[in-house]
Structure 1
Amino acid sequence: MRATSIPDGVLIGRATVPGFDHPRVVTVRDGQVVDITSAGMATVRDIAESGRAAEHVRTAAGTSLGPVDAIYAGSHGLPRLLAPIDLQAIKASGVTFVVSLLERVIEEQARGDKSRADALRGEILDLIGTDLSQLVPGSDAAMKVKARLIEKGVWSQYLEVGIGPDAEIFTKGQPMSAVGHGAEVGLHPVSSWNNPEPEVALLVTSKGDIIGATLGNDVNLRDVEGRSALLLGKAKDNNASASLGPFVRLFDGDFTLETIKQAEIALRVEGEDGFVLEGQSNMAQISRTPESLVAATIGQHHQYPDGLVLYLGTMFAPVKDRDGAGKGFTHKVGDVVSISTPSLGTLSNRVNLSTVCPPWTYGASHLMRDLARANLL
């Protein structure tokens, strides 16, 4: 990878470009960000739905916008990277790794009180153990574990979706609401216990074909969701609470879904208080295959005419104490969260309150009007 953490491969993204009212579709060629916006192919959605996305991005005529290093760094006066999707639905899957499964159970048992988490973690691990990774969700063996846990009084809705037959799939945000590399990510100000969720997100067409991948931060409010799973929307869908980027890498040549299944996702949080948190997430430890998660999202039971992006879940649940023994981790305003893997690059965002982050004001209707005025539809 280059120093900017932009990978090689067929990349597609979006950027605001001085002189244009609407986001431009871009790629990277020979160290330059290149504008490939054209009539009929003016959105990432249109290119994804073309059936030849990688070929189009490789061969489309384009105009250089500047060095990728400088644009990635957010240099003044140059285009600014946006989330690399536009009209796609933003969906997410939860409790797909055993570590996050156990942390969700702890959240529920703590009822949103982070001061109880450390003691509860020890009690629950003593009771149910940590090695659920060999269980196939929905299998006879998983159902036997479920029965034993019910007998012991610790069954939970999170264990249900972690080892039960049905995956947790939810709406993370609305189309056009995600932020990109270099933007601020938002925390609802009611939360005092929250964390990043470093994840791989798949680009999926309206036919259910998986054609590429990017990195994402599924910002999570642990105290809000822990109080009640019915507060999932409040915990997950807030202004600037979904980040994606820096680009979608389209499957092509040696880069395939199998590459993603073996990816190591690194997380680094750097606080203004000097606190540093690091961790790794190994996609090989996911308990449900990416294909099965996509199938649970789109099919005869549910269609997405503009396609979707699907966060695959995370195994990383930070528990490192930040403000004292037993208090665990929570974000502070000013934290810089970096999520990286060699095949997809690095996505970095600064943490702020969702009420302070720039408001989301540019939606699908605005994009369509701007593209129509530019004769690009």
Structure 2
Amino acid sequence: MSASDIPDGLLLGRALLPGFAYPRVVTVRNGQIVDITARGMATVRDIAESGRAADHVRTAPGQPVGDVAAVLAGKGDSLPRLLAPIDLQAIKASGVTFVVSLLERVIEEQARGDISRADALRGEILDLIGTDLSELVPGSDAAMKVKAALIEKGVWSQYLEVGIGPDAEIFTKGQPMSAVGHGAEVGLHPISQWNNPEPEVALLVTSKGEIIGATLGNDVNLRDVEGRSALLLGKAKDNNASASLGPFIRLFDGEFSLETIKQAEIALRVEGVDGFVLEGRSNMAQISRTPESLVAATVGNHHQYPDGLVLYLGTMFAPVKDRDGDGKGFTHKLGDVVSISTPTLGTLTNVVNLSTKCPPWTYGTSHLMRDLSRADLL
């Protein structure tokens, strides 16, 4: 990875540095990772909740600790290792926010987790729907008429309900401190035989519901598990190393804003040890619910997050390219290298493994608080 792959702007992240037993807060300046950890501003949560996150990252004193390109490339054991760029925030996700992924969720449900039925079902459902769902505004009168027609045809689905109905799907992707960062392994539950990456933008949101930045995420998905029953969403979505974020949060400033995110195109590349390559793109302009509406559905008078949250916005990308033969579709193989990128946020890269083989999650909130207390940083 070259320096040209590092986005400009105010970048905020976390890293394990040689000589420190706990995560440090970092930014990027002049091609260097810079440690800006300070008393009272020793967590990403504290910076986000300060009300002046961008100004703080721009002006905070810091110490260069490594070349950013080398760190992102994973060159050298003596360099910092990037972690997920959030810490105490809740990890939330929104689902079925793009029409393409909506149809694939319906297929998963109808297939009952059987990948061999997916291809035929895809054609049948598209023939039945007979309309361009991308033209529908969720919850609108037109959407409700389509809902009624689909019910009459016998193909109504819980995924169509959250895709075009009045209420968005918001769920807990993982616990605070459980996400992995750039360069880490991402985990698949070993029971799954049909799964895929989900390249997404994730928003950094304060406890007041203010959106102050964005990062990239991989909302690892087990299609067969969720397809058997939506009540298995927790088993499909929340496993060891199943939430990836990074490489950095880019904070909003005069040049980078939520409007930038709304026009972003997210690229995905999967490179397998078997020589298989999968590429795709997800265009944020095609999202069916606005980022603001998804945040409003998550945090407000109905639900508070005193440490803020990060919210995955969903993806339009649902891979259907055959990997092991005609009609067999796509599923991961161990060792797949997954890269998610967009020019304004950089590239997030992870390697696929079983969740039972990824490094276990052992460092939680209590460990961080004890370490920061010992370092006199609280």
CA distance in 2, matches of 1:254, 1:4: 18
Tell me how far 1:254 sits from its aligned partner. Answer: 1.2
Match of 1:74 in 2: 74
Match of 1:247 in 2: 248
Match of 2:176 in 1: 175
> Residue 349 in 1 paired to residue 350 in 2?
yes
> Residue 5 in 1 paired to residue 19 in 2?
no
* TM-score, scaled to structure 2: 0.99
Q: Which runs of 5+ in 1 are unaligned?
A: none
CA distance in 2, matches of 1:12, 1:130: 43
Tell me how far 1:4 sits from its aligned partner. Answer: 6.2
Matched ranges for 1:107-146 at <5 A: 107-129=108-130, 131-146=132-147
Letter in 2 for 1:49: E
Match of 1:32 in 2: 32
Match of 2:52 in 1: 52
Tell me how far 1:5 sits from its aligned partner. Answer: 2.3
Tell me how far 1:2 sits from its aligned partner. Answer: 4.7
Asked if the contact 2:3–2:68 (Cα under 8 Å) also holds between the matched residues in 1, the reply is no
Asked if the contact 1:265–1:282 (Cα under 8 Å) also holds between the matched residues in 2, the reply is yes
CA distance in 2, matches of 1:369, 1:111: 46
Q: Which runs of 5+ in 2 are unaligned?
A: none
SS of structure 2 residue aligned to 1:324:
coil
Matched ranges for 1:81-230 at <5 A: 81-129=82-130, 131-230=132-231
Letter in 2 for 1:357: C
Match of 1:258 in 2: 259
> Residue 294 in 1 paired to residue 286 in 2?
no
Asked if the contact 2:98–2:315 (Cα under 8 Å) also holds between the matched residues in 1, the reply is yes
Tell me how far 1:66 sits from its aligned partner. Answer: 1.0
SS of structure 1 residue aligned to 2:207:
coil
Bigger shift: residues 331-340 or 72-81: 72-81
Tell me how far 1:217 sits from its aligned partner. Answer: 0.1
CA distance in 2, matches of 1:81, 1:343: 18
Match of 2:43 in 1: 43
Match of 1:282 in 2: 283
CA distance in 2, matches of 1:147, 1:193: 31
Tell me how far 1:129 sits from its aligned partner. Answer: 3.4
Tell me how far 1:6 sits from its aligned partner. Answer: 1.7
Identity score, percent? 88
Q: Size of the alignment, in residue pairs?
A: 377
Alignment deviations for residues 325-372 of structure 1 (CA, whole Å, 9 cap, x no partner): 000000000000000000000000000000000000000000000000
Alignment deviations for residues 113-133 of structure 1 (CA, whole Å, 9 cap, x no partner): 000000000100111136201
CA distance in 1, matches of 2:206, 2:373: 23
Alignment deviations for residues 207-240 of structure 1 (CA, whole Å, 9 cap, x no partner): 0000000000000000000000000000000000
CA distance in 2, matches of 1:339, 1:125: 28
Letter in 2 for 1:360: W
* TM-score, scaled to structure 1: 0.99
Letter in 2 for 1:263: A
SS of structure 1 residue aligned to 2:107:
helix
CA distance in 2, matches of 1:66, 1:283: 33
Letter in 2 for 1:58: R
| Stretches of 4+ aligned residues off by more than 3 angstroms | 1-4
SS of structure 2 residue aligned to 1:56:
helix
Asked if the contact 2:3–2:31 (Cα under 8 Å) also holds between the matched residues in 1, the reply is no
Match of 1:369 in 2: 370
Match of 2:236 in 1: 235
CA distance in 1, matches of 2:343, 2:195: 27
Tell me how far 1:322 sits from its aligned partner. Answer: 0.2
CA distance in 2, matches of 1:130, 1:268: 30
Asked if the contact 1:36–1:63 (Cα under 8 Å) also holds between the matched residues in 2, the reply is yes
Asked if the contact 2:323–2:329 (Cα under 8 Å) also holds between the matched residues in 1, the reply is yes
Tell me how far 1:180 sits from its aligned partner. Answer: 0.2
Asked if the contact 1:4–1:73 (Cα under 8 Å) also holds between the matched residues in 2, the reply is no
